[in-house]
Structures are given as C-alpha cells and as structure tokens.
Amino acid sequence: MKNIFYLLMIISWVSCCKKPPTLPGTNSQTEIDSNNINISILIDLSDRIDPATNPNPTMQYFQRDTEYIKAIEKGFLNHIKSKKIITYDDQMQVFFNPEPSDPKMNEFTKELKVSFNKDTPKSYFDSVEKKYSELPLNIYQSAIKDGKYIGSDIWEFFKNKVNDYCIKKDKRNILFILTDGYMYHENTRFSEGSKTSYLTTKLIKANNLTASDFKNVIEKNKFGFVKANEDLSLLEVIVLGINPEKGNPFEEAVIKEYWENWFKEMKIRSYQIKSADLPSNLEPVILNAISGK
C-alpha cells in the first residue's frame, strides 16, 4: 500500500513539473502576462503597394493592408473591452523604417500611437476607431501619390529598433509586419557567407531555389537571412501579405522558409506567416492571434 502511495506521489510530482507543450511556430516557454498587450504594426511602403506596378483587380494590395490594419485595431479594442477598467495598460502603434520624408506621414504615425490606462474615458474607444478607419488609408494614398516608394528596411528594424520600439517586459508583445515577403533596402544590402540581409526573386533564382527540393538546397548551402538579433523570446510576430512573383511555383514556399528559419534563429516566441489573402479570410486569423486563441 505504501509503495502504491509513493508511486502516485511521484506521478503527481512529475505531472506538475512537466513543461507546457510547445505550440507550432513557438520557440520560447518564457512566461508573459498576456492580460496587457503591446501591439506594433510595421508597414512596408515599397512599390508592392503601387496599383500600377502590382495591380490586383479583385482588391488592390494597399486596400488589403488597410483592412488588415482595421482588423488589428478591432482585435486590440476587443481585448481591452474584455478587461476590467482598472487593469487597462495596453498600447498600439504604427512604424515605418526608414521614416518617410513627408512630415504628414510622421504626423499620421503619431496619431496612430494609442494607449489605454485606468483613467482612459469611454469616448477614447470611438476616437481610436475613427483614427484607424481613416489614417491608414491616408498613409497609403500619400505614398502612392508621392511615387518614390522608399521601401522598408525590415532587417535593420530587427537589428536596431525592435527591442526599443516593440518590446515591453511587462506586456505581451505582438508585431504585425505588412509586406510581400521580399526583403531589400539599398542601405542594408550585404552578405555573410551564403546568408544575406535581403531576399529578391533574382536571388531565389540565383540560388537555384526553383524546384521541389528547395529545402534541401537551403539546408545544404546554408542559405537564409543573416541573423539580426540574438534573443526575441518576448516577441510574437505575424507577417501578413506574402505575395510571390509569378513564374516559380515554389517561390512562396521559399519566402516563408527564409522567414521561418530567421525567426527561429532569433528565438521569436511565436510566429505566423500569411499570404496576401482577402481581408475577410484573414480577419479571424488576426483576431485569434491577438486574443491568444
């Protein structure tokens, strides 16, 4: 009888000490207070959004982006409304990298930086909804009208800014990146061995990643992005808008492989990489990502 008792005690102890399961796309078991969230949105303003260069008759890509942003704002406000007012301590902001030269664009981003605390009035909810229904579209229209398309230095953002801009140690940190998946900026273009700070369709072809064995080719040659950060275990990342160029049936899978390997190497807590689908299809994904479901 004693033996059975001790056996049950040991089983109970082992069960209590067992680590929680690791979810797909998850690298870290770091405990995070998920009751307060810090959401960041990094927008790629390259020519991917140009309706003349990259037209889509179903729904232009800049329009898809603005609807994704609305869904993010919806998920953010839903989260706050689910809490007691006394526990409000949440924020959301939008970034570009590098910053556009147009002063109006920088004013838009200031307006889109919103935060809630226990003293926030109820009317502020309507104010945030209004800002996020109008200003993102203004940003895209301004960029398209300007036509210069400064692009987005995503690699440099992860190297020098993501820790300061997107990570708060007392919050659950979620970064949404709106991009087509290609990574290139003239100010940050270099290689270390077979790894690069950029990814273009030209590079994919040069690396012979155009057949079904692309994963083996990547692994054998150690292709990928140069690691930009050592430990981002407090950050969750959702990439929206992957849009491969036509001609290579494996292009999208190659792009996602590059991003996934990069996130794993930087110890991103969890990640999702989604194609440029219609907003109605991606909204549930965005809402679930924010709610933690």
Chain segment 140-160, per-residue pLDDT in tens: 999 999 888 877 899 999 999
Output the pLDDT for position 5: 41
Beta-carbon count within 10 A of 241 CB: 24
Output the pLDDT for position 25: 57
Residue 254 has pLDDT above 70, yes or no: yes
Angstrom distance (rounded) from CA 105 to CA 135: 9
Output the pLDDT for position 126: 96
Q: How confident is the model at residue 264 (pLDDT cuts 50, 70, 90)?
A: very high
What pLDDT digit, counting tens, does each position of 157-209 carry?
999 999 999 999 999 999 999 999 999 999 999 999 999 999 999 999 999 99
Tell me the average pLDDT of the chain: 90
Q: How confident is the model at residue 226 (pLDDT cuts 50, 70, 90)?
A: very high
Q: Which residue has the tokens 């924010």?
A: 290
Beta-carbon count within 10 A of 15 CB: 8
Output the pLDDT for position 106: 86
Average pLDDT over residues 116-129: 96
**DSSP assigned state of 86:** G
List of domains in the chain: 30-291 (3.40.50)
What pLDDT digit, counting tens, does each position of 158-167 carry?
999 999 999 9
DSSP H or E segment with residue 222: none
Output the pLDDT for position 67: 98
Output the pLDDT for position 31: 57
Length of the chain: 293
Q: Label residue 124 exposed, middle or buried (CB < 10 Å: 0-12, 13-18, 19+).
A: middle
Side-chain half-sphere CA neighbours of 189 within 13 A: 11
More confident call, 12 vs 237: 237
Q: How confident is the model at residue 15 (pLDDT cuts 50, 70, 90)?
A: very low
More confident call, 162 vs 105: 162
Q: How confident is the model at residue 101 (pLDDT cuts 50, 70, 90)?
A: confident
What proportion of the chain, given as a percentage, has pLDDT over 70? 88
Q: Which residue has the tokens 């991009």?
A: 179
Average pLDDT over residues 75-99: 95
Average pLDDT over residues 257-282: 98
Residue 12 has pLDDT above 80, yes or no: no
Residue 70 has pLDDT above 60, yes or no: yes
Output the pLDDT for position 33: 53
Tokens (6 digits) for 36: 């307060």
Residue 216 has pLDDT above 50, yes or no: yes
Angstrom distance (rounded) from CA 260 to CA 25: 8
Output the pLDDT for position 4: 45
Tokens (6 digits) for 62: 């800049």
